[in-house]
Amino acid sequence: MSEVTEQIKSEYTRNEKKLISLLNATPADKLEWSPSPSARTVIELGAHCAMGTTGITGLLKGEPMRFENTAELDASLRQMEKQFKSLDVVLGMVKQSGEEYFAFLDSLDADQIHAIVNTPMGAMPLSVAATFPCEHMKCHVAQIEYVQTIWGDHEWRS
């Protein structure tokens, strides 16, 4: 295992722990609340993070994107996310998607992590593309933090 993959895993773990902490700290009556009809709820953001990790891991493995464009992808994800009402189910999805992502990272040798891969955002070193699940989750964790401030929760969580 390379130092690069260890750093990526460490960053992902920090984001995943924060996501889990925020989801667990969200009052049950707020899990399905959103600030507007077009915004995801907290539980939908949790499911979105898990599905994002799974989908990006597939792309990193070379699986084709199943959608013609990001608008199609977004519409499909939003429809799927609406089905999640159980925090336990979403937490299980987060755990499972992280395990699958780590298994992929652990399968890479030093040459593979530096290989150029094609992504929907263009060609780049796998060492860069492999950080996408971390960055994706970090962005949505920030959204949950913001939503919590709307209902007056200003506690910092790690």
Residue 65, pLDDT score? 82
Q: What angle do CA 23, 138, 119 make, to 5 degrees?
A: 125
Q: What tens digit of pLDDT does each residue of 46-96 get?
A: 999 999 999 999 999 988 888 888 899 899 999 999 999 999 999 999 999
Q: What tens digit of pLDDT does each residue of 85-137 get?
A: 999 999 999 999 999 999 999 999 988 999 999 888 889 999 999 999 999 99
Distance CA 66, CA 77 (A): 12
Report domain extents, the chain: 3-150
Residue 1, pLDDT score? 58
Q: What angle do CA 111, 55, 97 make, to 5 degrees?
A: 85
Band of residue 17 on the pLDDT scale cut at 50, 70, 90: very high
Q: What is the largest CA-CA distance in the chain?
A: 49
CA contacts within 13 A on the Cβ side of 141:
22
- Separation in Å, CA 114 to CA 54, 69, 127, 128, 129: 21, 27, 6, 9, 10
Q: What angle do CA 141, 53, 50 make, to 5 degrees?
A: 60
Distance CA 73, CA 71 (A): 5
Specify the CATH class of 3-150 in words. Answer: mainly alpha
Helix (H) or strand (E) holding 64: none
Q: What angle do CA 88, 19, 144 make, to 5 degrees?
A: 105
Q: What tens digit of pLDDT does each residue of 23-39 get?
A: 999 999 999 999 999 99
Band of residue 145 on the pLDDT scale cut at 50, 70, 90: very high
Tokens of 95: 């755990």
- Residue 153 scores a pLDDT above 90: no
Q: Which amino acid is at 8?
A: I
- Residue 144 scores a pLDDT above 80: yes
